[in-house]
């Protein structure tokens, strides 16, 4: 049986890759995907803690995180489509004003 520490460390590695992706990439869609990667790494930590204590609560929380991620992706991609319509770009550096 693989110890919980290894799973949490793998989760931390994935989270770090996601953070680096958010900070270095300029394409808004790839930034979004990096956010999904971070959510996913948090889910992995939750599920490994659920196994550590043999409780189902961590898996339930993961279930809710997946739900919220689906909602967030729908709204976020709609926002990106709206931004692209007015500014013709998905580069996060060029989207620097509040009004359309």
Partner 1 sequence: MELVLFLITALVTVGAAIAMVLSHNAVHSALWLVLNFFGVAVLYLLLNAPFLAMIQITVYAGAIMVLFLFVIMLLGSEKGQEEVNGLPWQTPVALVLGLVLLGIAGYAIFGANQPALPVAADGAGEYGRPESLARALFSTYLLPFEVAGVLLLVALVGAVVLTLKSRQGERA
Q: Which of residues 56-95 bind partner 1 (CB under 8 A)?
A: 56-57, 59-60, 62-64, 66-75, 77-82, 84, 86, 89-91, 93-94
Angle at 76 between CA 37 and CA 68, to 5 degrees: 60
CB of 65 to partner 1, least distance (A): 10
Cα 56 to Cα 39: distance, rounded to the nearest angstrom? 19
Of the CA atoms within 13 Å of residue 2, those in its CB half-sphere come to 8
Please work out the total of residues on this chain that contact partner 1, with binding judged by CB under 8 A. 74
**Which residues ranging from 27 to 56 are in contact with partner 1 (CB under 8 A)?**
27, 29-30, 32-34, 36-37, 40, 43-44, 47-48, 50-56
CB of 68 to partner 1, least distance (A): 7
Instruction: Give 93's contacts (C-beta < 8 A, 6+ positions apart).
Output: 26
């Amino acid at each position: 049986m693989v110890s919980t520490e290894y799973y949490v460390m793998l989760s931390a590695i994935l989270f770090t890759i996601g953070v680096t992706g958010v900070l270095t990439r300029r394409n808004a869609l790839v930034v979004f995907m990096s956010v999904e990667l971070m959510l996913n790494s948090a889910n992995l930590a939750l599920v490994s803690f659920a196994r550590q204590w043999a409780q189902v609560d961590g898996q339930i929380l993961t279930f809710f995180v997946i739900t919220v991620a689906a909602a967030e992706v729908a709204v976020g991609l709609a926002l990106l489509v709206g931004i692209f319509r007015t500014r013709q770009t998905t580069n996060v550096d060029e989207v620097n004003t509040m009004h359309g």
